[in-house]
C-alpha cells in the first residue's frame, strides 16, 4: 500500500491553497509496523516523536491503584503521542501502547523542526494538523463525558472496529465504569436497544 499517497490524500484538503511535495516529507518520516500490545513509549520517559497512524489503533495509558487506565484512543489518520511530554519535553507517567497491529509514520521532534526550517510551506500544514488534532480530542472527550450508557453507540461509530481490539476492562477504564456495565451496554447494542 502507498501510505504516503494516503497521507497526502488525507492532508491536502486541510491546506487546499498549497501544493505540497510530500516526497520532501518522506525524507524525515520512518514507516513502522508494530504488533498489538507493543509499547511505543514507556512510562517515565520523554516523548520525542509523533506518530501518524496509517492503520490500526493506539492507546495512551497511565497506571492507577486499580490498574491501567486507557485515557486516549487514536485511530487511522490521527496523530498519536503523549501531548504533555512532547510539548514540555518532560517525563510523564503516561505510556503509549498498540491496541491492535499498527502501521504508522514516525516523525521525531528534531526532524519536524528541520523539516519546517528547510520547507517552511509545511508550517501551515502543521498548524492545520494541530487544529484537527484538538477538534478530535474534543470530540472524543465529549463522547467519554456522555458516559458509556449514552456514549457507547457514538464511540463505536466514531471509531469503527475499535471494540474488536479492546477488552471489556479497557473499555471500562476508558469510560470509568465497571466491566459489568460494559457487558450490559454491549449486549443492549447487539439487541438494538440503544
What count of Cα atoms within 13 Å lies in the side-chain half-sphere of residue 23? 0
Q: What is the pLDDT of residue 192?
A: 83
Nearest to 107 by CA among 94, 125, 91, 92: 125
Based on its alpha-carbon atoms, the radius of gyration of the chain, rounded to whole angstroms, reads 18
DSSP line for 71-114: EEEE-TT-EES-HHHHHHT---S-EEEESS-EEEEEEEHHHHHH
Note whether 48 and 90 are within 8 A (CB): no
158-183 per-position pLDDT tens digit: 999 999 999 999 999 999 999 999 99
35-70 per-position pLDDT tens digit: 999 999 999 899 999 999 999 999 999 999 989 999
Q: What is the pLDDT of residue 33?
A: 98
Full-model pTM: 0.94
DSSP assigned state of 12? G
Class of domain 3-190: mainly beta
d(CA 149, CA 5): 39
72-91 per-position pLDDT tens digit: 999 999 999 999 999 999 99
Amino acid at each position: 500500500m502507498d501510505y504516503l499517497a494516503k497521507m497526502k490524500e488525507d492532508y491536502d484538503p486541510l491546506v487546499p491553497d498549497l501544493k505540497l511535495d510530500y516526497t520532501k516529507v518522506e525524507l524525515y518520516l520512518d514507516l513502522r509496523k508494530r504488533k498489538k500490545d507493543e509499547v511505543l513509549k514507556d512510562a517515565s520517559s520523554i516523548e520525542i516523536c509523533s506518530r501518524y497512524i496509517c492503520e490500526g489503533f493506539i492507546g495512551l495509558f497511565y497506571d492507577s491503584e486499580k490498574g491501567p487506565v486507557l485515557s486516549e484512543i487514536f485511530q487511522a489518520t490521527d496523530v498519536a503521542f503523549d501531548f504533555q511530554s512532547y510539548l514540555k519535553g518532560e517525563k510523564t507517567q503516561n505510556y503509549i501502547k498498540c491496541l491492535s497491529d499498527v502501521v504508522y509514520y514516525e516523525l521525531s521532534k528534531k526532524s519536524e523542526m528541520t523539516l519546517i526550517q528547510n520547507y517552511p510551506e509545511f508550517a501551515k500544514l502543521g498548524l492545520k494538523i494541530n487544529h484537527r488534532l484538538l477538534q478530535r480530542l474534543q470530540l472524543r472527550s465529549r463522547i467519554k463525558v456522555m458516559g458509556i450508557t449514552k456514549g457507547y453507540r457514538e464511540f463505536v461509530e466514531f471509531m469503527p472496529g475499535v471494540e474488536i481490539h479492546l477488552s471489556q476492562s479497557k473499555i471500562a477504564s476508558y469510560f470509568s465504569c465497571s466491566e459489568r456495565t460494559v457487558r450490559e451496554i454491549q449486549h443492549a447494542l447487539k439487541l438494538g436497544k440503544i
